[in-house]
Amino acid sequence: AVASPAIAQSSPEIKWRLTSSFPKSLDTIYGGAEYLAKQVAEMTDNKFQIQVFQAGEIVPGLQALDATAKNTVEMSHTVSYYYVGKDPTFAIFSAVPFGLNARMQNSWLYQGGGNELATEFFKKHGVIGFPCGNTGTQMGGWFRKEIKTVADLSGLKFRIGGIAGQVLQKVGVVPQQIAGGDIYPALEKGTIDAAEWVGPYDDEKLGFQKVAKYYYYPGFWEGGPTVHAFCNLEKWNELPKSYQTVLANAAQCTNSWMSARYDMQNPAALKRLVAGGTQLRPFTNEVLEACLKATNELWAEISAKNADFKKVIDAMQAYRSDQYLWWQVAEYTYDSFQIRSRTRG
Amino acid sequence: AVASPAIAQSSPEIKWRLTSSFPKSLDTIYGGAEYLAKQVAEMTDNKFQIQVFQAGEIVPGLQALDATAKNTVEMSHTVSYYYVGKDPTFAIFSAVPFGLNARMQNSWLYQGGGNELATEFFKKHGVIGFPCGNTGTQMGGWFRKEIKTVADLSGLKFRIGGIAGQVLQKVGVVPQQIAGGDIYPALEKGTIDAAEWVGPYDDEKLGFQKVAKYYYYPGFWEGGPTVHAFCNLEKWNELPKSYQTVLANAAQCTNSWMSARYDMQNPAALKRLVAGGTQLRPFTNEVLEACLKATNELWAEISAKNADFKKVIDAMQAYRSDQYLWWQVAEYTYDSFQIRSRTRG
């Protein structure tokens, strides 16, 4: 094909690299980046190509944001709550304890001002971010013994990271930061008492059901966590407008793709786990109430010294209050009846 | 700009017309088509343009599918359950009583085989369809008197159409087919006893709160209705591959855009309605159970004589059973606690 100069300017050939925070073996969350790259390539007649690297190929998983900000790679696919060490505000754009469920999270980000707050905040860190995946409400994790009271949490060595770990610490848990591949042996040996990961489909792959009997729900620290696609801000600004819209649309499609795919895969995995002897247990109201109280205390503490955090957590909480006011009317009563009548449908 | 022949082939200038089934005044559901057109134009540097017409400008709202199939217009934005008169199978790809909620509907269509069944079915009608909007669970509508028992439904003149009307007829309702603009005067005069429309944001615009006191929930016949973008199949096949992917991605983004936007708008509208005196009422379990029984009877009757319907309703119901098995674990218990603790968050 002979390219004329005028056309070449509006549709240049661009090759970007994307580092994922996930290994290929977690095919759905890692697969999101490949889905994104495929959409972008197809929409631009392969002129805009994004090559996807799994965690560790270019940089370790938790350095994805830094690598993007420094332009080691142009893009990353990661979870913004991994970066709470830089600033706890990062967490709110993905998930915080007792935050929004997946649909509300999308509504807040896309239509309720959340993405505008995120863009303003991410800019300070040299990147722009796009919601690019959601797991839905996660499970609360795998426990070697039952947890019925807050007292049962005391001294419990629980593999859980970030801001959720800080909340649980307030109710007696000893949070453990352990990378994905090291959790299984730690739980098997009893070095830790419990571990949380994602949900039935991903958890089953890591084999936790073989070394812990009780599978708790819900993962109240991840009601609807958003995975983000980050772009180096300068590189983003250099893209032609059409490519920017292509990339934004591809990210938004990946967001719904991942949610739809986890929803498709989780029921069968849950059935296999339960058939294999896994015991499902809900967190008791006592545990949930204590953790909510601890969460509100932590938000007050952080807000007192971090104006960005205060602005964003207040916005999210106001949105949440309105969302659940409405959710409890049509959505929740519909789901309630559907659950009650499930076997007679 | 001087276009070279080779590039012109892969990025031709194309102008399509789209007829919406909705008036401009319903800014969110109508606005979906404008959002779609904007994304497509931006992604193709304005080379692929879709001009949007509101219902009645080219053809009446309920003739959108026919106009697309006959290539009066290349595209439409409509709800496939409007076309149950041609074949009741159309309804299952948008919403049927006691069907999937919005997130499950997306999971089924995108990842669970739903879109493949839809494509096979729509092909027989000369179109290809893309999910392109969702309202979330709708409200059950406006009633001039309270409905507590199945006996209260007997002889009730209720503005409700399509396959949901057939279900309600089995429990004594006299379904009325009335176009949007004519509902208000009919309800005001008492020509009808009740009317359903969408949800707080759209219903408030039509003013039903002024002429009916009781606002029932949930709209169990629309747990998560999908709005579709239909393309004339031949015109679709003539598009370059890149434009096909652009259009498919834009439709998928519009799908989440509309859901996020309704979710953003409904809470404030609900608060205004309740502040103005509207009485919220849940359908009683007796009413829901009777309608579920009627629904299952109707599916058996239609399935006995329509193989397409049987195949698709069986697939949807199997998916629903698995989805709610999982949903009741993490999502539902999370939402339950969030609703209980809403005012303390």
Assigned domain for A109 exists: yes
- Neighbouring CB atoms inside 10 A of B85's CB total 9
Residues of B in contact with A112 (CB under 8 A): 260, 264
Residue B160 lies in a domain: no
Question: Does residue B73 come out as left (phi exceeding 0), alpha (psi in the -120 to 50 range) or beta?
Answer: beta
Residue found under tokens 């559901």 = B29
Strand-pair category, A75-78 with A214-217:
unpaired
- Gap between the Cα atoms of B146 and B216, Å rounded: 9
Residue (of B272, B195, B225) closest to B82 by Cα position = B225
Contact A263 B292 (CB under 8 A): no
A133/A250 Cα distance (integer angstroms): 11
Taking the C-alpha atoms of residue B265 and residue B261, their distance in angstroms, rounded to an integer, is 6
Judge whether B29 lies within some domain: yes
CB interface of B with A, residues 48-87, below 8 Å: none
Question: Is A92 a domain residue?
Answer: yes
Task: Report the percentage of chain A scoring pLDDT > 90.
Answer: 94
Residue type, A121: F
Residue A108 pLDDT exceeds 60? yes
Say whether pLDDT at A6 is over 70.
no
In this structure, the dihedral spanned by the alpha carbons of residues A279, A283, A284 and A290, taken in order and rounded to 10 degrees, is 160
Which of A59, A56, A22 lies closest to A206, judged by CA? A22
- Residue in B267, B288, B324 closest to A342 by CB: B324
Residues in chain B with CB shorter than 8 Å from the CB of A10 are 1, 45
Question: How many angstroms away from the CA of B279 is the closest CA of chain A?
Answer: 12
**How far, in Å, CA of B118 to CA of B116, rounded?**
5
Mutate to test the interface with A, among B243, B289, B316, B335 (most CBs of A within 10 A): B335
Does residue A58 lie within any of the structural domains? yes
| Sequential DSSP letters for B134-199 | E--SPP-EEESS---SGGGGTT-EEE--HHHHHHHHTTT-EEE---HHHHHHHHHHTSSSEE--S-
Strand pairing partners for B127? B232
A2 has pLDDT over 50: no
pLDDT at B344: 82
- Where chain B has pLDDT below 50, the residues are 1-8
Check whether A4 has a pLDDT greater than 70: no
pLDDT of residue B178: 87
B287 against A345, higher pLDDT = B287
Residue B2 is predicted with a pLDDT of: 45
How far is residue B76 from each of residues B51, B230, B262, measured CA to CA in Å? 11, 5, 21
Q: Is the pLDDT of residue A5 over 60?
A: no
3-state secondary structure of A190: coil
Nearest neighbour of B245 by CB, restricted to A42, A139, A242: A42
User: Residue B235: CB partners within 8 Å, gap ≥ 6?
Assistant: B16, B71, B74
Look at A323 and B263 and tell me if their CB atoms are within 8 Å: yes
What does the pLDDT read at residue A9? 57
If pLDDT is split at 50, 70 and 90, which confidence band does A326 have? very high
- Using CA atoms, how far apart are residues A96 and B342, in angstroms rounded to an integer? 15
Return the number of other C-beta atoms located less than 10 Å from residue A42's C-beta: 18
Residue B102 contacts A where some CB pair is shorter than 8 Å:
yes
- What's the CATH code of the domain at A252? 3.40.190.170
B281 torsion bin: left (phi>0), alpha (psi -120 to 50), beta (else): beta
- Residue-wise pLDDT for A52-103, tens only, equals 999 999 999 999 999 999 999 999 999 999 999 999 999 999 999 999 999 9
Q: Could you tell me which residues are beta bridge partners of residue A142?
A: A195, A215
Answer whether residue A252 is part of any domain. Answer: yes
User: In the structure encoding, which two tokens stand for residue B106, read together?
Assistant: 């997306």
Between strands A14-20 and B127-134, the pairing is unpaired
* Contact at CB, B249 and A39, closer than 8 angstroms: yes
Beta bridge partners of A229: A77, A130
Cβ contact A90:A75 at 8 Å = no
**Residue B115 placed within a domain:** yes
Q: Is residue A248 part of a domain?
A: yes
How many contacts (CB atoms, under 8 Å) link A and B? Answer: 282
Give how many domains chain B has, as a whole number: 1
Give chain B's length. Answer: 345
CB environment B36-62: b (16+ within 10 A), e (fewer): bbebbbbbbbebbebebbbbeebbebb
Mean pLDDT in chain A? 96
**Any CB–CB contact under 8 A between B300 and chain A?**
no
Query: What are the strands of the beta sheet with B194-195, ordered from one edge?
Result: B174-176, B157-159, B194-195, B141-143, B214-217, B279-282
Q: The domain containing residue B69 runs over which residues?
A: 5-134+223-265
Q: Count helices and strands (H / E) in chain B.
A: 14, 11
CB-nearest partner of B342 from A218, A288, A325: A325
Alpha carbon distances (Å) from A207 to A181, A204, B141: 11, 5, 48
DSSP, residue by residue, B267-298: HHHHHHHHHTTPEEEEPPHHHHHHHHHHHHHH
Interchain contact A1–B (C-beta under 8 A): yes
